[in-house]
Amino acid sequence: MVPLVTLGALIYMLSIVFDQARPMPIEDNSVLLLQPVGVVVEDLDPLEPLQALLQQDVASEVLLSDLVDAIDAASEDPRISAMVIDLADTVGPGLSQTLDLITAIDRFKARGKPVIAVGDFYTQGHYLVASQADEVLLHPKGSLSLTGFGAYNYYLVRLLDKIKLTVHVFRAGDNKSAVEPFLRDDMSSTERRVVARWLGSLWQDYTAVIERGRGLPSGSIDRMIADFPALLGQYGGDVAQMSLALGLIDGLANDAAMEARIAEVAGAGRDEVAGVFYDDYLNTLAVEAMGKLPVAGADQPALVAVVPIEGELVPGESIDGFAGSETVLERLRRTAELPGLEAVVLRINTPGGSVFAADVIREGVQELRAQGLTVVVSMAALATSGGYYIAAETDHIVAQPTTLTGSIGVFAAFPTFERLFDYAGVSVDGVGTTAMADAFRADRPLSEGSASVIRQVIAGTYVDFLHIVAEGRGMNVEQVAPIAEGIVWTGSDALEIGLVDSMGGLEEAINIAAGLAGLDRWEVQRMGTAMSPEQRLLQHIGRSIGMAGVFSAGPIADMVDALRPPLRLVESFKDPQGVYMRCISCANVL
């Protein structure tokens, strides 16, 4: 029997969903409110019913494509006169995905429609978007944080020694740094040099976008950060006043003043502003489109499908932000069955992961090409290692200058805890039918024969990786070898060395795919994770009521957040052979 409280809560949530499903009338001179609540993602994570009802470890998610679609539709909609951006309750997106969002904002502004950014506090990621608005407002007691980018790892060698755990690591690719946390107490000089190169490049791109958006001289942001203590002292420790004086914002305004300014820009009285939230706007457009269904038998445009591949690559099903090989393969095959399909764009945002999972997905991609379909890759923030393995043999690769890619290398990590057993006074003994019977037991030392097996698997996998890249990129292995070796490249560097074909975002990738397929007219269909009716309902409920707050602040929350990456890394180690194509130092820098 369902408890009355649970049933009542479910009925209440359903009433919210059905109420919000009604289309909102969009008045003339309306203002689009870009105020997403949740983590910005390329693909929604299906909710399990019990997890959703109990709100355990569930965070609201926002599709990047929804934000872009809403902005683009509003730019063409005569009923929308302006846009307000408020990212206070938004997590992400990555740097390259933010550039996609900024490109959509630029298209909106090109229509002569003003954009205002408002906020109490601006993080580095939020400010990158806000800086592209026509006007940036900050609360008088708010702040704006610009500190620079950093990439830091946890190094475990002393911890492993203390808990008597031995991790046997193997790698192919001299710069494949994924094994360093198990071997060292600090970042190696080689890895420090590689990370400093791509991190510096991303920071230059970041500051250039802000300086261009705010009309500041080149180098202004670096000078502000270098002189921050002295500058702050000049303004009595008031970050908001300092930001205004330095030209980072256009005005200081509390909530009432912000509302008044928005009304002024919209050309309406303060109580007459018709604001429409981006998700309500999309729902209304969807209902309006239902009345404009195409006439049966009419000539229909060809189809370009967008397939997202997001998260660490793991075998099996996608769950909790991981990209499961079986889920992605099913999605690719479902895509191939779409009537009128001519081209597919893979939207890749992954640091890599399991070799097995990467290969299953790569084979699914090649099935599409074998059917005569054009396949183009759009790289988001990350398409490293296993992500590049999937992309290498497609027809065209598009990346943003700030995309991280490459990291062509392979590693394995095999833990044994015989020292812990010995310390605890536990012995392990027995008999096997062959010399390999105890080869890969975690409670016994790794023999040289077993280590040799792993080394050969790693070496063979790396050679296969090099050949796949060489074949896909029209090179020979000798040309690929020096740009492989586990080295991480930015998108702009990857263009120079031939690992990608052009710069741009998802929109550019779609246009290129249509062009390669010889299409004059086309429609775009996004292929997300297949969900059951129950999961779709729960997803809608979650988005409607802002399920599970993910926005906490303060040192305790920061400490908890800092522990997530290493725990998630351990959780992603699921390859059947323990062999991985993954970049560990790559991270979202915003």
Question: 171 has which bridge partners?
Answer: 411
| Count of C-beta atoms within a 10 Å radius of residue 180 | 22
Question: Is residue 292 flagged as an active site residue?
Answer: no
DSSP states of 152-199? -----HHHHHHTT-EEEEEEESTT-GGGHHHH-SS--HHHHHHHHHHH
CA-closest candidate to residue 526, choices 66, 103, 108, 161: 66
- Give the full edge-to-edge strand order of the sheet including 410-416: 166-172, 410-416, 579-582, 352-354, 313-314, 323-324
How far is residue 436's CA from residue 50's CA, in Å, rounded to a whole number?
44
**Tokens at residue 388, please?**
């590049």
How far is residue 561's CA from residue 93's CA, in Å, rounded to a whole number?
16
Question: Is residue 162 flagged as an active site residue?
Answer: no
Q: Which residues contact 409 (CB under 8 A, 6 or more apart)?
A: 171, 172, 173, 175, 176, 178, 385, 462, 465, 484, 485, 486, 581
User: Quick one: three-class SS letters along 563-588?
Assistant: HHHHHHHHHCCCCCCCEEEECCCCCC
Given a contact cutoff of 8 angstroms between Cβ atoms, the answer to whether 461 and 173 are in contact is no
| Amino acid at site 158 | R
In angstroms, the Cα distances linking 73 to 68, 130, 133, 285, 552 are 9, 20, 18, 9, 33
* Run of H or E residues at 137: strand 135-144
Main-chain dihedrals φ then ψ at residue 520, nearest 5 degrees: -95, -35
Say if residue 93 is preceded by a cis peptide, omega within 30 of 0: yes
For residue 100, give the 3-state DSSP assignment.
helix
Main-chain dihedrals φ then ψ at residue 85, nearest 5 degrees: -110, 125
CA-closest candidate to residue 524, choices 504, 508, 510, 506: 510
Residue among 30, 65, 176, 450 flagged as catalytic: 176
How far is residue 240's CA from residue 140's CA, in Å, rounded to a whole number?
6
Q: What angle do CA 254, 256, 258 make, to 5 degrees?
A: 65
How far is residue 401's CA from residue 575's CA, in Å, rounded to a whole number?
31
Main-chain dihedrals φ then ψ at residue 389, nearest 5 degrees: -55, -40
Residue among 385, 407, 450, 585 flagged as catalytic: 385
Main-chain dihedrals φ then ψ at residue 436, nearest 5 degrees: -100, 5
Residues labelled catalytic = 176, 385
